[in-house]
Amino acid sequence: MSVVLDDFLQIRISDSKGLLHAKWLRSVSSEELRIGLQHIKDVINARGISYWLADARNLQSLPLTDQKWVLQEIAPLLVSSNLQKIARIISNDIFCYISFEEFVKKLKGTLQVAIDLEQFTSEEAAMAWLMLTD
C-alpha cells in the first residue's frame, strides 16, 4: 500500500514485513511536519508496525519547538506501540546528524525508549540494519 500525503510525504507499507517506509518529498513547514508525523504515528499504531524506515534526506534539522512537540505528542505513543527499530536516512550533512543524535539522547533519557534508532546515508544500509533485505 502506498499513500502520498499532500505533496510532502509518501508512505509505503509492507504488512508482511511489518515495515512502514516514510519518505519526505521536500522540506516542510512545522505544520506539515506535525501533520505528517501524526499520520505516521496513527499508521504505526493501527497496523502494528515493527520497523520504520524514515527517509529524511529532504528535511532540515528539527527546530527546538518541533523537537519538544515530538517528545510530548508522538514519542509517548510510539513507546507503547509494536515499533522495534527506526532507521533514518539522512544526507551527508553533519549538522543534521549531530542534531538528531542529540534529539535521540533526549528521547531515550526522557521516556526510557527501548526502540533502536540509527542513522544511515543510504536506503540499502538502512534496510540491511533493519534486517529486511531479501
The tens digit of pLDDT for each residue in 54-78 reads: 999 999 888 889 988 988 888 888 7
Give the pLDDT score at 60.
85
Q: How confident is the model at residue 125 (pLDDT cuts 50, 70, 90)?
A: very high
Question: Does the pLDDT at position 107 exceed 80?
Answer: no
Find out whether 100 and 61 touch, Cβ atoms under 8 Å: yes
The mean pLDDT value for 36-64 works out to 93
For cell 542534531, the residue is 99
- If you compute the radius of gyration of the chain from its CA atoms, what whole number of angstroms results? 14
For cell 508496525, the residue is 49
- What is the edge-to-edge ordering of all strands in the sheet holding 9-14? 2-5, 9-14, 19-24, 51-55, 85-89, 116-120
Q: What is the DSSP letter of 81?
A: S
21, 22, 93 from 105: Cα distances, Å: 23, 22, 19
Question: Does the pLDDT at position 32 exceed 60?
Answer: yes
Question: Does the pLDDT at position 22 exceed 50?
Answer: yes
115, 120, 129 from 123: Cα distances, Å: 19, 7, 10
The mean pLDDT value for 32-61 works out to 94
Does pTM top 0.95 for this prediction?
no
- Dist. CA 91–CA 56, nearest whole Å: 8
